Chain A
Amino acid sequence: MIRLGIDVGGTNTDAVLVDDTKVLHAVKTATTQDVGDGIVTVLGRLVKESAVDPGRIDAVMIGTTHFTNAVVQRRHVAKIAAVRVGLPAAATLPPFVDWPADLRTLSQGPTFMIHGGHEVDGLPLAPFDRAAMKDAAKKIRDAGVEAVGICAVFSPLTYAAEQEAAEILEATIPGISITQSHELGRIGLLARENVTLLNAALVGLARRTAEGFVRALAESGIKAPLYITQNDGTVSLADQAARFPVHCFASGPTNSLRGAAYLSGLKDAMVVDVGGTTSDVGCLRHGFPREANNNVEVGGVRTAFRMPDLLSIGLGGGTLVDPKDPAKIGPVSVGYQLTERGLVFGGAELTCTDIAVAAGLIDLGDRGRVARLDKGFVAAALDRCHAMLAESVDRMKTEAGDVPLIAVGGGCFLVPATMEGVSEVVHVPHQGVANAVGAAIAQVSGEVDQVFQGLKREEALERARKLAAERAVRAGASRVSLAVVEQEDIPLSYLPGNSLRVRVRVVGDIASIEVAGRL
């Protein structure tokens, strides 16, 4: 099975061809204004250089930071309507309540709070107010927004109220894009609602982006199904992903972590991804990134996303070094202008890359231009880089013993050969395009996060595992490859009937092409 992995980053668009056992070929190009153009370029080179027939490619996986960037940079975010079904609960904290003012101005359209929703035990919280919902639907239609986010109280346990609201909206405004919160989030109304509204605001961009991907693949003669990579190192089919762009927010760092796992063959390790501007340190557990558990903010909005637990510091190949003080490094970087502004490239700025060239770690540009640098200064600056990376790795470590550290990214020459608490620093071929490799080898997952009542613990876990497995298969996983990667159960205090909140995640390899759907 040949897979094509593509990473569309802010600076570079990388593509790799991977068969079952190895990387066949890799290409790095610059990202373009229209991301589709960059993909056409990178695929043209890949096909030509590797001599692989595009028709032999079985699956395409694309990872992109496009949607995160849209929120962070406040661009391409649509104005949307919000419907919360849950009165008389939570009336004092309406939708968008904790959003930054600028993003709120950009995205908040007509906003409604309606009576309805459910209690934790599944009983109705209040009768669903159909008349109010019909009235809201008319006002949303008249406002002319392109998308709506619906969130009902306790919808992760009982989602009937969200469906009823969606039906009324569809009947009133045929074809309007609707995001329902139970499809996206866990218990925790405000964070789930925020995710739902962010998703609704990005759905249009996601659809256009996915269409651009599809067009680029078609132009390149590739007919394989298209998958988009997600926060948790798995993929969904492009049509599914286009409905849930928020699931792709952290796919960039996730892919580099997963790519590092694949390239090194290690399943439990620390990973440092040294780019041009930052170094990101993460942790692999069972071949997947360890997730952050706390409330994660995206562009200032509090969410409850599944995101890799990541520590970013301002240290990369383009990071500036103070010519007077080798201990003063960063956080400013020359970024994509490294090849113009760096000393070895004929520029006037002293960067970490120049230090590495002077120290003989790499051979880049004109080495003669850094020959006059004081040896003691170079050694001290390099020591400082090493110390910064070592401190980050130590902060992220969760194992008491020594663990391996995989170095990836274009600036990985800054990673020292040894580090305290690290058993071995691992360098691998293709480490510079680890994120595209990570996209190519992504899996599909199914998740359950639900309260079970009146069951023995083992019965509840078994039921959750089965549900998660069905969801994974529906998302495109092959049944024989399924494996449980996460299982957590929490008995709920104060609740009747031996209540157990169970969270299970099942992943599997992508099934054969004929099973998979298409955009």
Chain B
Amino acid sequence: MTITKKSFKSTPFFAVLILVIIALSSGLILSVLSDVLYVSDEEKTNRDLAKVYTSDSFTAIEIDSSAISAEGNILYLYQAADGAVVIKASGIKGWKGVTEIVLAVKDGEIVNAIISSHNGDDKTSSIKASHLQQMFVGQKLDGNLEFTTTGTVGGGTLITAAPSCYATWPAVISAANVAVDYLQTKNLTGGAN
């Protein structure tokens, strides 16, 4: 009778052991790195504020939840040192997820608009900064300002005609409407202090 000696390396136990070691090592490295590279909500807010409006300081304004439109939500509201108002709102009706935009309003006029996050709706990457500028910047908060999805941007091409943007633009519009609706209701026009 021939007894074949099986090496430890060829056993299933060794294969599983290797996988477990790799998994544990990866987990350990990633847990350390995720702590080191963690981006807090405060950091994200500061990034948005710096991107949308230049100011030495921002003061948080309390949000009146009863004045928020049903189409979305107001996530934060800040006032800059010169009186301008920065508002972050989320809108529904997108392809998926919740699209969040940030508007800066100064002296009753929108001066800047950015998409803050898309929460999984990656089709927002097709919406360029120039689209947002053309659609929102310069619009005046006259008490009746409201945006529609049939606005023309991008050199005359309907934004809804661009296949990648079609499903997401309604979310951007509804977020903008939530924001301007709130500002007009509360009469926050970003005037001088």
Is chain B a partner of chain A in the same complex?
no
Residues of chain A touching chain B, judged by Cβ–Cβ distance below 8 Å, are none
Residues of B in contact with A (beta carbons under 8 Å apart): none
